[in-house]
Amino acid sequence: MGKIAFVFSGQGAQYSGMGKAMAEASPAAKAVFDMADSIRPGTSQQCFAGTAEELTQTVNTQPCVFTVDLAAARALEERGIHPDCVAGFSLGEIAALAFAGVLSDEDAFKLVCKRGELMDAAAKANPGAMVAVLKITPEKVEQVCAQFAQTYPVNYNSPAQTVVATTAETAGAFCEAIKAAGGRAKLLPVSGAFHSPFMADAAEGLAQYMEGIDFADPQIPLYSNYTAQPYAGDYKKLVRAQVENPVRWQTITENMKADGVDTIIETGVGKTLQNLAKRTFDDIKAYKVETPEDISSILNA
């Protein structure tokens, strides 16, 4: 029998009402929302009834998505489904840190709140744009990026999907260059150029904040966005590095599979990671868990 991986969603699929059904149905999920509200009052209300504009602000998105991600994982655990390893996409890695026992839920939530504040400030100080590139290889995307200043591949998502960070002024010309190279480009509705040198100030601020936090060893393997390998060495350095460096999600998925994972369960908002797993491997079982009905479907499967 193969291994199970929990993967924690990143920002982008958030919506008003997320997590509400799970919080109402699962005591373990509700405990996560209660924890979030005790530290950052109003987090549950933002998740359950926040406006789209409110939820797309990074300072709100990150703590809210973290809470929904971790609540879904705790609800799965409550029903007897336990992973052999975990990973999280971007901010999802902070939820994975909590689930793997590297940080307490409280410290992880405080960390993601600080991360959101710092990345929001960096985005305002160093405005940028992000472009999703489809239908061409990461290597081809890198070649096009090399033609432009301050243009970086930042999310290696699948063999045919790479996200690029650049300046707002360069985005239009970059999209045209991608089309000329045979790809498809889509400007993303985000507030900053994340996982790139545009976030250097946020990474430094996060490193300073983490000086006062204790990190424990993971209780199960936790794959790093920065290295695509299980956490080893200086954990705080890995958390800092992922803010200003690419997310190597395709390689994480490949490494998980090489390590025996045959089932990936995305916990949290949306089904982006579920879909990426299916696009990367034809023979992997991939599910998403956001609602009580999703858990029932997995138990039946």
Residues belonging to the active site: 90, 195
CA–CA gap between residue 185 and residue 206 (Å, rounded): 31
Structure tokens at 185: 């480009």
The DSSP result for the chain, as a single string, is --EEEEEE--TT---TTTTHHHHHH-HHHHHHHHHHHHHSTTHHHHHHH--HHHHTSHHHHHHHHHHHHHHHHHHHHHTT---SEEEESTTHHHHHHHHTTSS-HHHHHHHHHHHHHHHHHHHHHS--EEEEEESS-HHHHHHHHTTSTT-EEEEEEETTEEEEEE-HHHHHHHHHHHHHTT-EEEE---SS--SSGGGHHHHHHHHHHHTT---PPPSS-EE-TTTSSB--S-HHHHHHHHHHS-B-HHHHHHHHHHTTEEEEEEESSSSHHHHHHHHH-TT-EEEEESSHHHHHHHHH-
- Burial code (b: 16+ CB inside 10 Å, e: under 16) for 209-248 equals bbeeeebeebebbbbbbbbbbbbeeebeebbbbbbbbbbb
Q: Nearest-CA neighbor of 246 among 267, 219, 266, 228?
A: 228
Q: Are strands 3-8 and 85-88 parallel, antiparallel or unpaired?
A: parallel
